Structure 1
Amino acid sequence: MELNHKSNKPLHLQAEEVLRTLIDSEEYKSGKYLPNEIELSQKLNISRNTLRQAINKLVFEGLLIRKKGVGTKVVQKGIISGVKNWLSFSQEMKMLGIEIRNFELHISWKKPNEEICNFFNIDKKNPIKCIVLERVRGKKEYPFVYFISYFNPKIPFTGEEDFTRPLYELLEKEYQITVKTSKEQISASLAGEEIAEKLDIKTTDPILIRKRFVYDTNNTPIEYNIGYYRADSFTYTIEAER
């Protein structure tokens, strides 16, 4: 909780680093209120305005939330994803320290729709069936995402693969396919009956829909993935530099 007042780094940035450490600590990460601004500014030996600069940045990032007349609260950690150095779902969860449970896992062969045919460059008039992997995944307490993945029919899947393994690890070790690029689309919707049943939520609850278009190192399309996330468990961040 000590800042270096002789450092060239601005005090509000040092305060921000201290707050980030607090947010990630066991004591606060489940959603505890921070000490009030007067107490916190005194501990850090900075003005309340300097402290507010740091707090405002973390509120903007969705890590803190202010409640008027109550205080500043740490947002309970959900799934946080972003566009910089994209990760597989398994890697994202491992990074966050979340142990994942598969609630459902289904494998089938289906004819792709027009959008998927265009992505994989499949003849729309006589489409080849793709192997489709459907998974409902989440914490041990509840599911929070329903994935549907279509794979390029040129991948020699048999349907007997162990899809409980991390997907991209399986592709690399069994088929020498290394994924590199993910192009994504994010949208919002109400759950509806099918998704609500999968995620154990109400039909009128909000969800986030995340489409991923995954390519290998040769820019060959590998996976067309749609993820339906509980909105209370998913935060998407974007970092941009000018």
Structure 2
Amino acid sequence: MPEELFAEGLVPDVALDRTSPVPLYFQVATRLQQLIENGEMPVGGRLENEVDLANRLGVSRPTMRRAIQYLVERGMLVRKRGVGTQIVHPKVRRPVELSSLYDDLAKSGQRPQTEIRLFEVKPAPDHVAEALGVPDGTEVAWFERLRHAGGEPLAIMRNAVPVDVLRLRREDLENHGLYQLLRAAGRVPRIANQVVGARAATTAEARMLGDSRGAPVLTMTRTAWDEAGRAVEYGSHLYRASRYSFELTLTS
């Protein structure tokens, strides 16, 4: 039977299905994560201690502790001595599928904002031409954007789009996502090769992202093709690891 949890007015209706094969700790953690992401549990708020929460749900203390630790590890809660368990900025969780960061932010109710730091038309650098499979010297629109979400910098994105695929303008990129513009032009990305990695931010990158030098960042490079097999974009992106994660669903 579903049960409800209320913690000082911060945690509404967390329903548990005890007949489900999904572990109870994961049910609790998943629902709390949803409440944090949609703003029902506001940043800066505090949870009741795990004993009271466990009693409210009728679960064991180890189950409750594991649910809270799951969210701590995902950067959504933080334990502070003398303060308790506090809600912090939720990460942007991005499914590893063929979508854009702009689309994912808009879909999750966040308001993406874009700062264009560089925009030029030039011959594709060798590594970009190779990734796109175009002849050396092919002209591309090369641009660098700083993407904000919730008023905070989230990602540094560098992209190249062949000019004969789509003639972009700076103002278009300020107001729309790249994949929105490609779709509107009939150049719908259908397949992509994507590599995800991690490293430490340089001083300049950390300054742009509002982090400290050496802060962990996630990297992603991608080449996307349309249904005709033509490369439509190359991207090299950098994300704040403290505010961003890639999400995969695995099946056997």
- Which bracket does the TM-score occupy, shorter chain normalised? 0.7 to 0.9
Displacement of 1:225 after TM fit? 0.7
Alpha-carbon distance in 2 for matches of 1:23, 1:91? 20
| Structure 2 residue corresponding to 1:79, chosen from 92, 102, 124 | 92
Query: What's the counterpart of residue 48 of structure 1?
Result: 61
Contact 1:61–1:237 (CA under 8 A) maintained in structure 2: no
Change in Cα spacing, 1:197 to 1:57, as seen in structure 2 (3 Å) is closer
The one-letter code matched in structure 1 to 2:143 is: L
Alpha-carbon distance in 1 for matches of 2:170, 2:17? 62
Alpha-carbon distance in 2 for matches of 1:161, 1:23? 33
Pairing 1:235–2:248 present:
no
Displacement of 1:140 after TM fit? 6.4
Matches within 5 A, 1:88-237: 88-124=100-136, 127-139=137-149, 141-157=151-167, 159=169, 162-163=172-173, 164-173=175-184, 175-237=185-247
The one-letter code matched in structure 1 to 2:156 is: Y
Alpha-carbon distance in 2 for matches of 1:218, 1:198? 37
**Identity value in percent:** 24
Pairing 1:33–2:46 present:
yes
Alpha-carbon distance in 2 for matches of 1:23, 1:158? 37
The one-letter code matched in structure 2 to 1:130 is: V
Aligned length: 238
Displacement of 1:197 after TM fit? 4.5
Contact 2:16–2:27 (CA under 8 A) maintained in structure 1: no
Deviations 1:185-238 (A, max 9, x none): 223333334434533444444333221222222332211111122333222233
Contact 2:75–2:90 (CA under 8 A) maintained in structure 1: no
Deviations 1:113-148 (A, max 9, x none): 332121222234xx2221112212214644332211
Change in Cα spacing, 1:239 to 1:32, as seen in structure 2 (3 Å) is farther
TM-score, structure 2 normalization:
0.76
The one-letter code matched in structure 2 to 1:165 is: H
Displacement of 1:92 after TM fit? 1.4
The one-letter code matched in structure 2 to 1:50 is: T
Alpha-carbon distance in 2 for matches of 1:199, 1:53? 31
Change in Cα spacing, 1:24 to 1:159, as seen in structure 2 (3 Å) is closer
The one-letter code matched in structure 1 to 2:245 is: T
TM-score, structure 1 normalization:
0.78
Unaligned runs of 5+ in 2: 6-13
| Structure 1 residue corresponding to 2:36, chosen from 23, 45, 55 | 23
Contact 1:147–1:228 (CA under 8 A) maintained in structure 2: yes
Alpha-carbon distance in 2 for matches of 1:5, 1:122? 54
Contact 2:76–2:91 (CA under 8 A) maintained in structure 1: no
SS in 1 for 2:48: coil
Alpha-carbon distance in 2 for matches of 1:226, 1:33? 37
Displacement of 1:149 after TM fit? 0.7
Alpha-carbon distance in 2 for matches of 1:33, 1:140? 20
The one-letter code matched in structure 2 to 1:170 is: L
Change in Cα spacing, 1:58 to 1:229, as seen in structure 2 (3 Å) is closer
SS in 1 for 2:198: strand
Change in Cα spacing, 1:24 to 1:154, as seen in structure 2 (3 Å) is closer
Change in Cα spacing, 1:63 to 1:113, as seen in structure 2 (3 Å) is same
Task: Point out the more displaced range, 223-232 or 60-69.
Answer: 60-69
The one-letter code matched in structure 2 to 1:169 is: Q
SS in 1 for 2:64: helix
RMSD (Å) for aligned C-alpha atoms: 3.3
